[in-house]
Structure 1
């Protein structure tokens, strides 16, 4: 009987202080845009990404902000994937903390969309949704390009795929459906925007990768960086 190959729990490549400082600045720019995209999704009031449905649903029952909910879910996922021997990097830990921080920082700065009865309100809300998809695509391209570790949600996807012996695509689909269902039960913002986001975020990320000249990490299987939600 073959023995499972041991995988280190933490991966890091030291390439000097100058490279580290540059990567920290770049990855924070990606996290800032990601947090902005989440707030745009919520403000659109058309529905959000699957993970934000869950995270916003949690805030209906626990007295915390959306950003704090994002951080709490990320911490829980890290506690799950580390025992599963899914490799993480310093970028994984930074993702766990800073996207939620940026969500709360941007929140008061993103204007609310007009009431439904206001002329042109739907156009504004659709614009928020489109801008959120484009912004999150570029945010993903920026921080994935640093190659400092997959986000907690992608790490869960990879762990499930590896342990269950299924494709990354099927793993992601099962997780997304489960997360949306849980978020909906908690009163999270499910709507037409949830479907639009799920269909368009992939092309948005692919477009950003092309513009930013980002290549998937060659140490990962093809498709492992496909994303449909926050980190």
Structure 2
């Protein structure tokens, strides 16, 4: 998926065309993304790899899951330094806002009881998360911290994106599981369902960049 701001200095990113619209869709996308994660967690059937880790750390520290998500995002951003990745407007917004949206959702939505209600909430959370992910990516304001790590490794050492992502997420999932994070049906459903839904929705929500309006040509990037 094209990103208008891959490795562009932050001060130059304010020159991108239709910035107000992009900022609006960025906010809506990140809000829905965090809310979708919150619904998936409330389903009680497992979580995505990074959220398995966040839940595990939150349980051991007493901090909220959203707070751990924010702190983890900034730890991941430290790894961008040797990879020579440039922060995007969307990168910083992602690091700060997704965790807040998660905590708000977890505060407003109580856990469900029973398998069928859990599955229904899981499907709703996955659909919201995937659509919001596409909206966020479609704003083309820079990759999220975790996907920037993946693409940064790819560009720095020429390693294929797919295996890099797989190694990172399997490693994170393994650590989260060993620390007591929730691995289950939701983990599998998320892994299989997120990609196809995002790909389909992206065709309708991406805001195109006019030739010459962005500082550099677009390159590949994904949301967190």
Q: TM-score range by the shorter chain?
A: 0.7 to 0.9
**Structure of higher RCO (CA pairs closer than 8 Å, 6+ residues apart):** 2
Task: Tell me the equivalent position of 1:33.
Answer: 32
Structure 2 unaligned blocks of 5 or more: 1-5, 210-215
Structure 1 counterpart SS, 2:218: coil
CA distance in 2, matches of 1:201, 1:137: 6
TM-score, normalised with respect to structure 1: 0.84
Equivalent pair of 1:209/1:215 in contact (CA under 8 Å)? no
Equivalent pair of 2:55/2:182 in contact (CA under 8 Å)? yes
Task: Tell me the equivalent position of 1:99.
Answer: 98
CA RMSD of aligned residues (A): 2.3
Runs of 4+ in 1 over 4 A off after TM superposition: 213-218
Task: Tell me the equivalent position of 2:23.
Answer: 24
1:212 shift after superposition: 2.5
CA 1:164–1:107 in structure 2 vs 1: closer, same or farther (change >3 Å)? Answer: same
TM-score, normalised with respect to structure 2: 0.86
Equivalent pair of 2:40/2:122 in contact (CA under 8 Å)? yes
Equivalent pair of 2:40/2:47 in contact (CA under 8 Å)? yes
Task: Tell me the equivalent position of 1:155.
Answer: 148
Larger mean CA deviation between 208-217 and 152-161 belongs to 208-217
Structure 1 counterpart SS, 2:79: helix
1:202 shift after superposition: 0.5
Larger proportion of helix: 2
The correspondence of residues 8-157 of structure 1 with structure 2, limited to 5 A, is: 10-11=9-10, 12-15=12-15, 19-114=18-113, 121-157=114-150
CA 1:49–1:205 in structure 2 vs 1: closer, same or farther (change >3 Å)? Answer: same
Larger mean CA deviation between 211-220 and 54-63 belongs to 211-220
CA 1:9–1:218 in structure 2 vs 1: closer, same or farther (change >3 Å)? Answer: closer
Aligned length: 212
Structure 1 unaligned blocks of 5 or more: 1-6, 115-120
